[in-house]
């Protein structure tokens, strides 16, 4: 009881302050939640929709996110509008620069908005296609049109520099158990001060500070019944780990670099090798403009078509084979008419992992199982 009543809230304040500094915002704008799904449900519960209103998403969104907003819209008489993004090389003008691509994506999304658009939901780094979207230009421009923005960012935390002041979204949802390597059950919701008075918890408990502190919009989220906040507090330790020098973590990296810099450069090197090896094997080039895949420490590499049935809960047979027969865990995803193997790299991966994956795929191709 001493911990819950006297120590928990100051400890959570300290942890949110550490995370906030890492993300370029104030601790007053962050609350800890179980994961990005919990955070997105809070945004959904806090968004007032009426018949005829629209929630705009892209064709690269995480399936569970799109499903949530379809359900919310069905219940309120609103509708989800999906915009197809011009991100493949065959949909972009020849010679498009990085800035051209970012501007075209931003304009395509904004052109799909109407007077009925109440919220734009967009990934920072997309889950199925592993591309980075220009949220830094998109969110402020949407705000000028009076449209609220929610960035789904679980793959961006630690993978990319995230500056929430610069992004200026209304909401940012994330899970810290991915690239930041915090424990499962460690996520957060960022709420811009302009939205804080409108935010409602998905779980209703006592509300108010259990330690008797001055009221805050965050009170409803700090105490949602008795639970173990250890995963939340450990986020600060994960941040500190990445900010310290990378002593002996990767032999090829300078020892004076931070662990964060070491992770990013090390992963980029491994992914470059994976792209080369797998592209040589399949003879299939990535369909995405390089500006959308640079600096992203996972990559979606094209595979030959497969006519096997793939549904929710029934992965691609290749993914099952890699997992069960070769102990290689990597998603095989379908997106529109494309089939990808999504390869990720982190500090714990080594060149031998890339070799093992490439050799396994080569053998499976030879056997007709790719």
Shared domain check, 301 and 273: yes
pLDDT in tens, 32-77: 999 999 999 999 999 999 999 999 999 999 999 999 999 999 999 9
Residue 228 tokens read as 């173990």
Is residue 32 one of the residues assigned to a domain? Answer: yes
For residues 42 and 198, the answer to whether their CB atoms sit within 8 Å is no
Nearest to 8 by CA among 199, 216, 212, 180: 212
pLDDT at position 214 is: 82
- Of the chain, the percentage scoring pLDDT greater than 70 comes to 98
* Residues 130 and 218 both lie in one domain: yes
> Do residues 313 and 227 share a domain?
no
Same domain? 64 vs 188 = yes
Quick one: 8 and 126 in the same domain? yes
Domain of residue 271 covers 259-366
CATH of the domain at 216: 3.40.640.10
> Beta strands 54-58 and 117-123: pairing type?
parallel
CB 256 within 8 A of CB 245: yes
Statement: residue 220 has pLDDT above 90? no
Give me the mean pLDDT over the 298-318 stretch.
88
Look at residues 193, 211, 240 and tell me which one is the last residue of a structural domain: 240
pLDDT band at 295 (very low <50, low <70, confident <90, very high): confident
Q: What is the pLDDT of residues 226-254, one digit of tens each?
A: 889 999 999 999 999 999 987 766 655 56
CATH no. for residue 333? 3.90.1150.10
231 and 312 in a common domain = no
**The pLDDT of residue 254:** 64
**Shared-domain flag, residues 180 and 215:** yes
Calculate mean pLDDT across residues 253-269: 86
Give the count of domains, the chain: 2
User: Which pLDDT belongs to residue 207?
Assistant: 78
Inside any domain, residue 224 = yes
One domain, residues 266 and 187: no
List CB contacts of 284: < 8 A, sequence separation 6 or more: 301, 302, 303, 304
Residue at which a domain ends, from 213, 240, 267: 240
* Domain contains 304: yes
Per the CB < 8 A criterion, the answer to whether 364 and 370 are in contact is: yes
pLDDT of residue 360: 97
CA 308 to chain centroid: 28
Round to whole Å and give the CA distance between 267 and 158.
12
- 251 belongs to a structural domain: no
Question: How many CB atoms sit inside 10 A of residue 80's CB?
Answer: 19
pLDDT of residue 145: 94
Note whether residue 274 is domain-resident.
yes
User: What average pLDDT is seen over the chain?
Assistant: 93
Q: What is the mean pLDDT of residues 79-99?
A: 91
Of residues 17 and 217, the one with the higher pLDDT is: 17
pLDDT-based confidence at 255, cuts 50/70/90? low
Same domain for 152 and 89: yes
**pTM: predicted TM-score of the whole model, two decimal places:** 0.94
Q: Final residue of a domain: which of 180, 208, 240?
A: 240
User: 212 with 338, same domain?
Assistant: no
- Cα end-to-end span (Å), the chain: 57
Answer yes or no: is 252 within a domain. Answer: no
Four-CA torsion 341, 295, 95, 152, nearest 10 degrees? 70
Task: Tell me what pLDDT residue 227 has.
Answer: 87
Q: Are residues 218 and 360 in the same domain?
A: no
Residue 109 lies in a domain: yes
Mean pLDDT on 144-150: 96
pLDDT in tens, 341-365: 999 999 999 999 999 999 999 999 9
Residues 324-344 have pLDDT tens digits of 999 999 999 999 989 999 999
25 assigned to some structural domain: yes
82 and 132 share a domain?
yes
Quick: pLDDT tens for 104-114. Answer: 999 999 999 99
């Amino acid at each position: 009881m001493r911990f819950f009543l006297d120590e928990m809230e100051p400890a959570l304040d300290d942890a949110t302050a550490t995370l906030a500094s890492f993300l370029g915002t104030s601790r007053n704008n962050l609350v800890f939640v179980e994961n990005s799904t919990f955070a997105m449900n809070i945004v959904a519960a806090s968004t007032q929709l009426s018949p005829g209103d629209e929630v705009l998403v892209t064709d690269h969104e995480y399936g569970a996110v799109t499903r949530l907003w379809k359900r919310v819209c069905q219940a309120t008489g609103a509708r989800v509008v999906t915009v197809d993004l011009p991100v493949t090389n065959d949909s972009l003008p020849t010679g498009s620069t990085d800035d051209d691509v970012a501007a075209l994506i931003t304009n395509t999304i904004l052109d799909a908005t109407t007077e009925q658009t109440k919220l734009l939901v967009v990934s920072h780094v997309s889950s199925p296609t592993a591309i980075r979207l220009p949220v830094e230009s998109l969110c402020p421009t949407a705000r000028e049109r009076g449209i609220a923005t929610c960035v789904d960012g679980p793959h961006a935390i630690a993978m990319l520099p995230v500056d929430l002041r610069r992004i200026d979204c209304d909401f940012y949802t994330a899970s810290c158990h991915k690239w930041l390597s915090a424990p499962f059950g460690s996520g957060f919701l960022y709420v811009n001060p302009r939205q804080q008075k409108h935010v409602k918890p998905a779980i209703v408990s006592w509300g108010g500070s259990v330690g008797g502190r001055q009221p805050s919009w965050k009170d409803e989220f700090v105490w949602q019944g008795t639970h173990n906040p250890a995963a939340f507090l450990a986020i600060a330790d994960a941040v500190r780990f990445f900010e310290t020098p990378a002593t002996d973590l990767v032999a090829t990296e300078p020892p004076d670099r931070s662990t964060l810099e070491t992770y990013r450069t090390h992963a980029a090197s491994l992914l470059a090798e994976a792209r080369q090896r797998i592209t040589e094997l399949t003879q299939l080039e990535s369909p995405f403009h390089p500006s959308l895949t640079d600096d992203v420490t996972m990559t979606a590499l094209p595979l030959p078509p497969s006519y096997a049935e793939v549904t929710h809960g029934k992965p691609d047979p290749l993914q099952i084979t890699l997992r069960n027969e070769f102990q290689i865990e990597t998603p095989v995803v379908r997106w529109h008419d494309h089939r990808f193997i999504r390869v990720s790299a982190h500090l714990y991966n080594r060149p031998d992992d890339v070799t093992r994956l490439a050799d396994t795929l080569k053998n499976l191709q030879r056997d007709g199982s790719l």
